[in-house]
Structure 1
């Protein structure tokens, strides 16, 4: 009979990026930058609270 191999629980992912790895970001409006100089338009900047990724939408 072979040796018994003990199983370990997998390490938990960091709670900061756990949901964001699967595309479930928590978007919050960032009010620091509201005007895009290159486009010359007002923009809304969204920043994910968990991972810090940004997305921009023009009005």
Structure 2
């Protein structure tokens, strides 16, 4: 059997679900433990990434 495709266009609220908070700087930050040393600064850093939009920020220790 074939896959059934939806014929209805997705609503704007479904398409932008969870991203409106990030537009108003209410990100959901999670610590990324892969990168702990920044060669450009020469120090240890904590790297955060947003679970919703994927934005990355770094903070020195």
Q: CA RMSD in A?
A: 1.6
Taking structure 2 as the reference length, the TM-score comes to: 0.72
Normalized per residue, the structure richer in helix is 2
The match for 1:24 is: 26
Q: Which position in structure 2 is the counterpart of 1:45?
A: 47
Q: Which residue in the other structure is 2:60 paired with?
A: 58
Match of 1:4 in 2: none
Larger gyration radius, structure 1 or structure 2 = 1
Structure 2: which 5+ runs fail to align? 1-10
- Displaced runs of 4 or more, over 3 A: none
Q: Report the alpha carbon displacement of residue 15 of structure 1 after superposing the two structures with TM.
A: 1.5
Question: Cα offset for 1:14?
Answer: 1.4
* Rounded Cα–Cα distance in structure 1 between residues aligned with 2:41 and 2:23: 30
Query: Residue in 1 aligned with 2:38?
Result: 36
- Specify every segment of 5 or more residues in structure 1 that has no aligned partner in the other structure, as ranges: 1-9
